Amino acid sequence: MTIQLGRLAALWWRDLGADPRTTSWSSFIGALREEFRAPPAPPSPVMHLEVDSKEEDPEEDLTEDPMDDKERTEAETEPTPAPEPVQPERVACVSYMLRKGAQHWWSTVKMTRDVTVMSWADFIGEFNQKYYNSAILRVQEDEFLNLKQATMTVIEAVNKFEQLSRLCPSMIRTEEDKLRRIMDMLRPDITLAIESGGSLPRTVAKCVERAIRIEYRMA
Judged against a pLDDT cut of 60, whether residue 208 lies above it is answered with yes
Question: Cβ–Cβ contacts within 10 Å for residue 2, how many?
Answer: 5
Q: For the ranges 59-63, 145-149, 183-187, 202-206, which has the lowest average pLDDT?
A: 59-63
Distance in angstroms (rounded) separating the CA atoms of residues 17 and 12: 9
Cβ count within 10 A of residue 19: 7
Burial 122-148 (b: 16+ CB within 10 A, else e): bbeebbeeeeeeeeeeeebeeebeebe
Query: Above pLDDT 70, what percent of the chain?
Result: 60
Q: How many CB atoms lie within 10 A of CB 152?
A: 15
How buried is 58 (Cβ within 10 angstroms: 0-12 exposed, 13-18 middle, 19+ buried)?
exposed
- Where residue 17 falls (left for φ over 0; alpha for ψ -120 to 50; beta otherwise) is left
Assign residue 64 a region (left: φ > 0; alpha: ψ between -120 and 50; beta: otherwise): beta
Neighbours of 92 (CB within 10 A): 13
Confidence of residue 185 (pLDDT cuts 50, 70, 90): very high
Say yes or no to pLDDT of 77 above 90. Answer: no
SS3 209: helix
Question: Per residue, what are the HEC states of 141-197?
Answer: HHHHHCCCCCCCCHHHHHHHHHHHHHHCHHHCCCHHHHHHHHHHHCCHHHHHHHHCC
Q: For residue range 3-45, what is the model confidence (pLDDT) as tens digits? A: 555 555 566 666 666 665 666 666 666 666 666 555 555 555 5
Percent of the chain surpassing pLDDT 90 = 32
The whole model's pTM is what? Answer: 0.46
Residue 200's pLDDT is 86
Question: In this model, does residue 78 exceed pLDDT 80?
Answer: no
**Would you state the pLDDT for residue 135?**
82
Nearest to 207 by CA among 170, 157, 163: 157
Residue 157 pLDDT exceeds 70: yes
Segment 85-113 shows an average pLDDT of 86
**Is 70 exceeded by the pLDDT of residue 96?**
yes
